[in-house]
Amino acid sequence: MGMEPTLVIIKPDGLKKSLTGDILSRLSETKLKIIAAKIMKVPKELAEKHYQHLSKEPFFEELIRYITGKIHGENRVMAMVYYGEGAISKIREIAGATNPEEANPVSIRGAYGRILTSGIFENVIHASSSQDEAEREIKLWFEPDEIVMDLYPTEEKVFEKVIKRVWKE
């Protein structure tokens, strides 16, 4: 426990169902601090790295389709980092069990999740489940400068010939 960060992702079903506000309200009950947030598309490579621990599961391919928005025709997710005392367990508690049918009905997954006919647990949010997982996931989803706190050691790298899209003058 102690002061720790955790990664939260509102999955494509959460955005599709306009649940963002409700979910943020529920999460704010924890009194944890949001230290990073963005709406983004999820590239397949990022999805596969994020769920690498499940790559042997029969539902893996469908899970990648889910998190990349292919199932809902909604390619946005909202990724956030919450920080504070016992952040990981506090958020997991409000999120509820992985299987939405077993989740506490007042938890986010219990209230808004469902099981798709494909068998995938459509459970609205992701939340890191350990400090190691949080570190791995936060480094996957965010760059150091997108987070308003220094969570992990950084280094400076000089890039040459970087091609970057900018607003047209």
CA atoms within 13 A on the CB side of 90: 21
Give which of 102, 133, 145 is closest to 9, Cα–Cα. Answer: 133
Q: Please choose which of ligand IDP, Mg ion, none residue 63 contacts, taking the beta carbon within 5 to 8 angstroms, the exact cut-off set by kind.
A: ligand IDP
In eight-state DSSP terms, residue 75 is -
Among 121, 134, 141, 142, binds ligand IDP (CB under 6 A): 121
Q: Minimum Å distance from CB 42 to ligand IDP? A: 13
User: Site residues for Mg ion, window 113-142 (CB under 5 A)?
Assistant: 129
Nearer to ligand IDP, 32 or 103 (CB): 103
User: Site residues for ligand IDP, window 19-38 (CB under 6 A)?
Assistant: none
Among 55, 98, 130, 154, binds ligand IDP (CB under 6 A): 98
Q: Minimum Å distance from CB 144 to ligand IDP? A: 25
CA–CA distances in Å: residue 154 to residues 6, 137, 145, 149 = 18, 16, 10, 12
Q: Check: CB of residue 140 under 8 Å from CB of residue 50.
A: yes
Q: Minimum Å distance from CB 96 to Mg ion? A: 13
Q: Interhelix angle for 87-95 vs 20-28, to 10°? A: 130
Residue nearest to ligand IDP (CB): 98
Among this protein's residues, is 126 annotated catalytic? Answer: yes
Asked whether position 68 contacts ligand IDP by CB under 6 A, the answer is no
Give me Rg for the CA atoms of the chain: 16
- Cα(25)–Cα(20) distance, rounded to whole angstroms? 9
Residues serving a catalytic function are 126
| Site for ligand IDP, rule CB under 6 A | 54, 59, 63, 98, 119-121, 123, 126, 129
